[in-house]
Structure 1
Amino acid sequence: MSMKKMSKNQSRRIRVAAVVAIAAALPLSLTACGGGGGGSDEGKIVIGTKFDQPGLGMKNPDGTMSGFDVDVATYVAQQLGYKPEDIEWKESPSSQRETLIQNDQVEFIAATYSITDARKEKVSFAGPYLVTGQSLLVKADNTDITGKDSLANNKKLCSVSGSTPAQKIKDEFPSVQLQQYDTYSACIEALKNGAIDAVTTDEVILAGYAAQTPGAFKLVGQPFSEENYGIGLKKDDTELQTKINDALTKMESDGAWKAAFEKNLGPAGIQVPSPPAIAKN
């Protein structure tokens, strides 16, 4: 009789212990599944950036990441509670950025991502964290091109097919012989071998290529457009937007922003600009 009672008591204790264990594990499992938003899982965060833009977002031969966008994104992630080793980098080509965000494949994207009204219909932005503009890159020994006003007289200019800089050249400088390639690296190669006279896109992108091969190229003239780079995130995620804006504000105020710019783009000879005012977009 006593053995049966003990057996029932033991059975009851086992069931209670199991329920308590499940209840205790539930909050942890929810946290591990990335309850904070898309692109997070088990203490990791997925961040989108470019893999092929030196000085901004570059995947190096050893698999490490480098560049100003990478440093900005890493700082933001740390403010959100993630260590650098917790970051999984996802390549984010320009044409795929909105889709990656909308499909929760990334938590956010920092990838020379200009804030525009058309894009804000699909995603939200934090920032801007950098203001730049379209510029010109020539060989270091070039004396013919000193800025946009030097583009007349059938100069050969290279940009990327379908890009805003290419369209601007078509619209405003019809006498220029515009060569359009699939990538800026192809333009840089054409500039090296003399097939073209100059490459045009955003100044900081050109600065990154110039820094990659010091002494080979130079930036000329003043930027002739304005681009505001922001961090793209899920549409109307105001909580994350506010957290990223706070992180960017801190990065600018504590000197980390300036240090990141000098490290990644300073070798190109570009002056460190004043960091832009952070505003909700």
Structure 2
Amino acid sequence: MKLRMVSAAAAAALALSLTATACGSDNGNKSSSGGGDKTITVGIKFDQPGIGLKTPDGKYTGLDVDVATYVAKQLGYKPGDIEWKEAKSADRETLLQRGDVNYIVASYSITPERQKKVDFAGPYLLAHQDVLVRADDNSIKKPQDLNNKKLCSVTGSTSAQNVKTKIAPNAQLQEYGGYSECLTGLENKVIDALTTDDAILAGYAAQKEFQGRFRLGGFKLSNENYGIGVKKGSDLKAKINTALEKMVKDGSWDAYVKKNLGPAGYKNEPAPKIGVIVS
């Protein structure tokens, strides 16, 4: 693994920006008043159990929700001050560029291409592409065992194609409309494995109705550095980084990961260092 670290100049700029007050600038900080109370708008996924999920009763749960709420608190906002907005993968950069959200916490991998459009605080989680298989299926023990297996991912995703191109050329790709459909197919033995980021897979497998039925392969097929997206040039980046460092130091990070992903037997990496990207 290769580590990309922030430059000395960037570190100095980060330190300088920490002197700003939590709400002292409107640069990327979309605040509004509601009855005199300030609010903050945060983008999350609405359809990823264990990561970011809007439940039928209108509540929000998951690792990203816990992280986003912690960060908001450090910025001076109570949970009730948060306006949650759905941030689908294809919409994330646009939401930030238009100022529709203050920041996005939505299994948002930091990539060079995305960094041209938005800034990232973090990373706050190092995930990996992996596979999910049935707990009683011992035929898939290494990535190459995916050859001649029915491998599922969602339509438009590159995860399954990466496996077929680089690891198991004889894998039989199956594209479904959503991960929940892949999971149903896996449960019913219509498919043999589901692939995407291990944190997302763990979130699904950690749901009560699925606990004990599936297992993660633990293959670490890629490195996915989850960051918090902010508008390009926003001073929120430095403030969020400070909040993330505190979250790790006070034990909240460990508690959030264990609560949301632990039931699936997720073996998480240690909390990443702020500003260090594992490539």
Q: TM-score, normalised by structure 2?
A: 0.85
What's the counterpart of residue 255 of structure 1?
251
User: C-alpha separation between the residues in 2 aligned to 1:48 and 1:211?
Assistant: 23
143, 160, 171: which is aligned to 1:148? 143
Please name the residue that 1:129 is paired with: 124
Q: Does the CA contact (< 8 Å) of 2:28 and 2:230 recur in 1?
A: no
Aligned partner of residue 248 in structure 2, secondary structure: helix
Task: Give per-residue Cα distances to partners, 1:14-54, cap 9 Å, x unaligned.
Answer: xxxxxxxxxxxxxxxxxx9x946443211011100001111
1:160 to 154, 164, 168: 154
Q: 2:267 aligns to what? A: 271
Asked if structure 2 preserves the Cα contact closer than 8 Å seen for 1:45 and 1:82, the reply is yes
Cα separation, 1, equivalents of 2:55 and 2:152: 25
Which among 89, 93, 96 is matched to residue 101 of structure 1? 96
CA RMSD of aligned residues (A): 1.6
Q: Which residue of 1 aligns with 2:229?
A: 232
Runs of at least 5 residues in structure 1 that lack an aligned partner in the other structure: 1-31
Match of 1:83 among 55, 78, 83: 78
Q: Which residue of 1 aligns with 2:183?
A: 188
Partners of 2:163 and 2:46 lie apart in 1 by 26
C-alpha separation in 2, matches of 1:206 and 1:260: 16
1:176 aligns with 2:167: no
Partner of 2:11: none
In 1, Cα distance between equivalents of 2:263 and 2:272 = 21
Matched residue, 1:217: 214
Measure the CA separation in 1 of the matches of 2:135 and 2:160: 23
Structure whose alpha-carbon radius of gyration is higher: 1
Percent identical residues = 55
Opposite residue 181 of structure 1, the aligned amino acid is Y
Q: How many residues align?
A: 247
Partner SS, residue 143 of structure 1: coil
- The higher-RCO structure (CA 8 Å, 6+ apart) is 2
Counterparts of 1:49 and 1:75, CA distance in 2: 14
How far the C-alpha of 1:165 sits from its partner, in A, is 1.0
Q: Deviations over 1:72-92 (max 9, x none)?
A: 010000000000111011011
C-alpha spacing 1:80/1:147, structure 2 compared with 1 (3 Å): same
Gaps of 5+ in 2: 1-22
Q: Measure, in 1, the Cα distance between the counterparts of 2:276 and 2:71.
A: 16
| 1:241/1:280 contact within 8 Å kept | no
CA contact 1:39–1:47 (8 Å) conserved in 2: no
Cα distance in 1 between the residues matched to 2:158 and 2:114: 14
Residue of structure 1 equivalent to 2:56: 61
Q: Helix, strand or coil: the match of 2:274?
A: coil
Partner deviation per Cα, 1:152-171 (whole Å, 9 max, x = no partner) = 2x100001222231231231
**Pair 1:139 & 2:130 matched:** no
The one-letter code matched in structure 2 to 1:220 is: G
* The 10-residue stretch of structure 1 (160-169 or 269-278) with the greater mean CA deviation from structure 2: 160-169
Amino acid in the other structure paired with 1:74 = T
More helix by share: 1
